[in-house]
Amino acid sequence: MSRFLHTADWQIGMKASHVGEAGTRIRDERLAAATRVVKAAQDAGVDFILIAGDTFEDSGVDRVLVQKVADILAGFGGPVYLIPGNHDPLVPGSVWEHPAWKSMSRSASPVAV
């Protein structure tokens, strides 16, 4: 039986302008939470991670953030499956075309399904 960790709606890159200067902390914490998800998956010994939509706030997020997320997920060391969501659809020019996904090791490469 396969074991996996399921998560969704990270919305990395959210502007959070409605909370003023706290927006920076919110954006930083979302990346830190991604790191904690990977750690929890490793600690639980799951076979893969499934991120089911809205990993990013939209396809216009800073591409540095896309690289940071790819780097965090590569740290898992196993398969990571990503399903594009309504905020980050799989369309031309989307975050899913970033070279970071191709540069990840084969065993940790996200697959947009």
Domain ranges of the chain: 4-112
- CA neighbor of 56 nearest in space, from 40, 73, 39: 73
- Percent of the chain past pLDDT 70, that is, above it, reads 92
Closest CA to 97 of 60, 42, 54: 60
**Each residue of 54-75: pLDDT tens digit?**
999 999 999 999 999 999 999 9
Say whether pLDDT at 41 is over 80. Answer: yes
Query: Which CATH architecture describes the domain 4-112?
Result: 4-Layer Sandwich (3.60)
What's the pTM? 0.87
